[in-house]
Amino acid sequence: MLPSPRLIILVMAAAPLFLAGALFEGAAAVGVLYVLVLILYTGLDALLLPRRRQIGMTRNTPERVSVGYPTAISYTVENHTRRRLRIQLAEDCPEAIEIAPAPPETGMRRDHAEAEVHLMGGALKRSLGVAWRNLQATIAKPCGLDDATRRHPCTSGVDVSEALVEPGQVATLACRLTAGRRGTHHLERIFVRVLPAAGLLYRQFTVSLPADLEVFPNLVSVRKTELLARRGSSCEQGLARLRHLGQGYSFESLRRYVRGDEMARIEWKVTARRGDLIVKNFEPERQQSILVALDVGRATAGEFQGLSRVDYLVHATLMLAFIALRQRDLFSLVAFSDRIESYLPPVSGVRNLERVARALYALQPRLVESDYDGACRFLSLKNRKRSLLCVMTDVIDRQASDVLLGYLARFARYHLPLAVTLANPELQEVAHQPLASSEDLYGQAVALDVLAAREEALIAMRRKGVSVLDVPPHRLTPELINRYTMIKSMRRL
């Protein structure tokens, strides 16, 4: 049990009565009577507090969550008592999961009763301020609460959801779940506080509802790209070539001119009739093979703007898979570190995008040295058909990339290898920023040395016939898609 704000106010209201006792006879007696009545009422309220078994609760977990995208999650609360209850709850979330109440306009669904949802950050009511939180923490200690209860989210600055539930009724609290990391996350405890109508004490308890939450790469952005492609707006997102994915020999359709289209493809007769530049669309080559080798070892374990480099690689891979499957190409995937982490055999058709997402969603960077030799031998055994072999990794210097370079040069005889590496904008900023002190000179010298060694390794790859795409992480997805579509349009496969 915990005191409610109402009880704190009533206790403080006794102070003026005792102070007035020094000036007026009988005021102290009134104060004593007031305190006795308050003690009796509080004791009666403690006896009538609802029990844990009188409050039913279920969590409605979403089947799929996209990383970084708010997803609806709800809680169903049942009031089996004869009193109206104010129920507050907060989820004991893993570090990468955040659950907050939904905005009032999207509100809470009502099944059988009127219910209210409020955003309450901090203590039970922000209007009471820091003084209330400090006072509540002081009162909670002598109540025999264990450490886990003292860290109750309702008193630790975490947003909680609140609902008024009538006797015998059911209410649903709508919240928004946002995941900051891919993979499987475990939800377990829900912290609950119950305050009856006209009550002075909270009943506080924990409900255990174990559930596993699967967080996938951002599938929402994939669907958005599909809509943009259908509306012809993809060029606004930097995917300038998305509208002519591949160029075959048979005529397919007509469409508006997009900046970058060849002049030879303009259909002048239709252009004259419509008064707008119209170009011919050709049927692209089908069933070409795309193979992505994704390095999740030490080389890609760094972070950029709060996300690991693997996150950028995973998102780019998912977008590339969507575009390739939409073109009915074969897409396969292998992720590796010092071992093979995940393998997806060749698939075709957009319906298989789910399989690609499942092969990617659990990948996390590992602080181990990647086994390029084992990964490349695995690729050579699994893939015989000529393919666009897209190796997503990073290089530090020529010596560290010699094994990878040797295999890519060998693959160039039968496949079209493309080395995708992530540039380091922060390192480039250090290397080219103006010197402010003599200490900056050493940092700049090291940065220039690292960049020079890295550039030497990339030049060695190009000399061996390996295409290189070296871009900052935030530009990886559009640049990779544009490179893929350029290879398709030039019929290099």
What CATH number did the domain enclosing 116 receive?
Answer: 2.60.40.10
439, 296: one domain: yes
In tens, the pLDDT along 412-425 reads: 888 899 999 998 88
Q: What count of Cα atoms within 13 Å lies in the side-chain half-sphere of residue 201? A: 21
**CB contact at 8 A, 179 and 96:** yes
Q: Is residue 42 domain-resident?
A: no
163, 103: one domain: yes
Residue with tokens 């890295």: 454
Q: Is residue 3 domain-resident?
A: no
Distances (CA, A) of 349 to 239, 306, 317, 322, 484: 21, 33, 16, 9, 17
Q: What count of Cα atoms within 13 Å lies in the side-chain half-sphere of residue 112? A: 11
Cα–Cα distance for residue pair 53/99, rounded to 1 Å: 25
Cα–Cα distance for residue pair 23/110, rounded to 1 Å: 54
Of the candidates 347, 317, 313, 314, the residue with the CA atom closest to the CA atom of residue 329: 347
172, 304: one domain: no
485, 386: one domain: yes
Q: Is residue 400 domain-resident?
A: yes
297, 445: one domain: yes
Domain that holds residue 181: 51-216
Q: Is residue 5 domain-resident?
A: no
295, 154: one domain: no
Token output for 1: 């049990």
At residue 151, the pLDDT reads 38
Strands 183-196 and 85-91: antiparallel
At residue 402, the pLDDT reads 82
258, 391: one domain: no
Q: Is residue 117 domain-resident?
A: yes
Residue with tokens 């507090």: 49
At residue 428, the pLDDT reads 82
Q: Is residue 40 domain-resident?
A: no
Strands 65-66 and 85-91: unpaired
111, 133: one domain: yes
Distances (CA, A) of 74 to 117, 172, 226: 12, 7, 29
Specify the number of domains making up the chain.
3
Q: Mean pLDDT, 10 residues at a time, over the chain (493 residues)?
A: 87 84 78 88 89 91 84 92 90 88 57 34 36 39 34 52 89 90 89 90 91 82 54 44 45 81 84 88 72 91 83 91 88 93 92 90 89 88 87 80 84 89 86 77 84 87 89 89 85 74
At residue 156, the pLDDT reads 45
At residue 35, the pLDDT reads 87
266, 164: one domain: no
170, 270: one domain: no
At residue 447, the pLDDT reads 84
183, 301: one domain: no
Strands 170-179 and 85-91: unpaired
110, 192: one domain: yes
pTM confidence score: 0.67
